[in-house]
A and B are shown apart, each in its own frame.
Chain A
Amino acid sequence: MIPSESLQGNEVAWALSVTLATGRAFLTRMSAYLIQFVRWPLGPLLIFAVWRVMYGASGRTVVGGASLSGFLVTGIFGSVLLSSSIWTSGYAIEWERDEGTSGSLFLSPASRAAVIAGYGLGSFVWFLPCFIMVTLLGVATGATLNIGSMAAAALGALAMVTASLSMGFTLAGLFILSRRGNLIANVMQPPLLLLGGFAVPIARLPLSVRWISNGLPITHALEAFRPAVLTGAGLATTGRELALSFGVSAAYVVAGLLALRRVEHVARRLGQLDLY
């Protein structure tokens, strides 16, 4: 995983190399078991189907101003990216610790942030077939694309990916420092799936919980991405949510880097990371 010596003078190239190497390692590890090829794409497809049947039973055909299937396809994208930030980039150091490689990781000169980004990047690649299959299922059940501004759609997609990675940075430090990473991940996932606005529009959530939704970068990213790809909204409409998404993402990255510094301290100075 350590890049060649020729890269060691160039911090950016080195970090990129570590990110790519970690992403490749993630994909290799995930490909080791056949069941992984089935379960990861199938899970979101089935959840899409559950939500689609629920909405069908409710009699709603339009949700949040978009067609039902279009709303749910984008919601599944968001939920997959949220899962990615919790279970891959967020769980990056936990994985290393579980596999007994966290000691080597902290002894290596590789950037921890690049390793986390590598997990996130690997998961985006891993989920590509899932995104394609969900899109095809969405189109087959009535979803239609309506892109009025390529810039708004592209920036919306970029905001989604950035939001996922930024949350991963914060969660990575939180999970490892709490020593209850698996528990926190399991406890936080169900509420975030609801509060992120993936299956139910944010406007339908009670006012008392919307502040949590507003504190999630993925919520704002989805609020920008959905209208950009489903109702032809341009940057004038989605600009505010895009700005909020990138702003909140930046705050998460800063929090994540501070948490990683603390993790570094615990690992190197106190030597406690692999004691539990």
Chain B
Amino acid sequence: MAASWSARMKEQLVISGALGYLGLWIGLPVFQLATAGLIYEGRNPALVPYAVVGTATSTLVFTMLYNVGQTLDTERLRGTLIGLFLAPAPRIAWLTGFALAGAFETSLAAASTVGFGMLVFGVRFDVDWPALLVSLGLLLLGLWGLGFVFSAIGLWSRRSNDVSNLVSPVMLLLGSVYYPITALPLWLRLPARALPLSYGVQALVEASLHHRPLSTLTAKIIPLAGFAVLLPLAGIAAFRWVEHGARRRGDLDLY
């Protein structure tokens, strides 16, 4: 796990350069938040702190899609996937190592988003730490599993980047990133409630901005806990399905 984490970190830094790496991971969420801030400022400033927490949380989704979700297909394109499958190391260890490298980038992006929100929009937090940590932990587990599901889908489709680019705006629209779920038209609220992100963002907003304790967040925490159990199982199942298919057909590196 440590070796794959280290390899992925070095690779990212060498490809991007330190400055490019920072620009990429800090720039994206900051400019997204700036857009939201400029839309809300002056008319509904109460949504700016919401957007800060939502944008910071959305960085987890981008890591889930563009990092974890594209891992297998990226390795295939480089011709190293077969090597990884044949290596005498637990699959879950190197997959998690890659995911942890993504977690570092996510932390950087989330921290810059929160810092930007505090400095530029004057957002202040009133955190209930147990509620924040439980909500974040459950959301992370759910997204970790979902990332492996998308990784399998990306490898199966051979177009993981296109899959990520297709899914990410859906997540932005339905994931309650910039607005509460009640801002959506009624017919869009149903699919929004099928996503762990919408529960996660709402719970994190309540816990970090309004000091709401866990006992008042059960309506968000219970579905999040369900996702935290089911999605990792789905991720493991999807990964096994891909590996089984690859071993049976032997076609992983044929195109």
A to B CB contacts below 8 Å, 30 in the list? A35-B157, A35-B159, A35-B163, A38-B166, A43-B166, A46-B169, A47-B172, A49-B173, A50-B172, A53-B179, A53-B183, A57-B180, A58-B39, A58-B40, A58-B44, A59-B44, A60-B39, A60-B43, A180-B17, A183-B15, A186-B24, A187-B24, A187-B27, A190-B28, A190-B30, A190-B31, A193-B35, A194-B35, A194-B38, A200-B39
Given contacts A53-B173, A54-B179, contact A191 B31 (CB under 8 A): yes
Known: A57-B47, A57-B179, A58-B44. A42 touches B166 (CB 8 A): yes
With A183-B16, A183-B20, A194-B34 known as contacts, the answer to whether A39 contacts B40 (CB < 8 A) is no
Asked whether any CB of chain A lies closer than 8 Å to the CB of B6, the reply is no
Within 8 A of B (CB), among A181-233: 183-184, 186-187, 190-191, 193-194, 199-200, 204-205
Nearest-neighbour CB distance to chain B for A257, whole angstroms, equals: 27
Query: Which residues on A sit within 8 Å (CB–CB) of B20?
Result: 180, 183-184, 187
List CB contacts (< 8 Å) of A31-66 with chain B.
Answer: 33, 35-36, 38-39, 42-43, 46-47, 49-51, 53-60
| Docked-complex contact A190 and B27, CB < 8 angstroms | yes
Give bound CA distance, A53 to B17, whole Å: 37
Say how far B131's CB is from chain A's closest CB, in angstroms.
24
A54, B17: Cβ atoms under 8 Å? no
Cross-chain contact B35 with A55 (CB below 8 angstroms): no
Within 8 Å CB of A60, what residues of B?
A: 39, 43
Shortest distance in angstroms between B176's beta carbon and chain A's nearest beta carbon? 10
List residues of chain B with CB within 8 A of the CB of A183: 15-17, 20, 24
Using a CB-CB cutoff of 8 Å, which residues 154-187 of chain A contact chain B?
180, 183-184, 186-187
Measured between beta carbons, the chain A residues less than 8 angstroms from B43 are 58-60
Q: Which residue of A lies closest to B16 (CB)?
A: A183
A142 CB to nearest B CB, Å: 14
Q: A46, B35: Cβ atoms under 8 Å?
A: no
Cα distance, A51 to B47, chains bound together (Å): 14
B-contacting residues of A (Cβ < 8 Å)? 33, 35-36, 38-39, 42-43, 46-47, 49-51, 53-60, 180, 183-184, 186-187, 190-191, 193-194, 199-200, 204-205
Contacts of B34 in A (CB 8 A): 194
Q: How far is the CA of A59 from the CA of B43 in the complex (A)?
A: 7
Which listed residue (A39, A57, A187) contacts B162, Cβ 8 A? A39
Least distance between A194 CB and chain B CB atoms (Å): 5
Given contacts A35-B159, A56-B183, contact A50 B169 (CB under 8 A): yes
Q: Which chain A positions have C-beta within 8 A of B172?
A: 46-47, 50
Chain B: which residue is nearest A33 at the CB level?
A: B159
Measured between C-beta atoms, what is the minimum distance from A202 to chain B in Å? Answer: 11
Given contacts A54-B39, A183-B20, contact A33 B166 (CB under 8 A): no
Most buried by A among B15, B32, B38, B178: B38
Contact of A187 among B23, B36, B183 (CB under 8 A): B23
Does B184 contact A53, Cβ atoms closer than 8 Å? yes
Which residue of A has the minimal Cβ distance to B165?
A39
User: Would you list which residues of chain B between 1 and 51 have a CB under 8 Å from chain A?
Assistant: 15-17, 20, 23-24, 27-28, 30-32, 34-36, 38-40, 43-44, 47
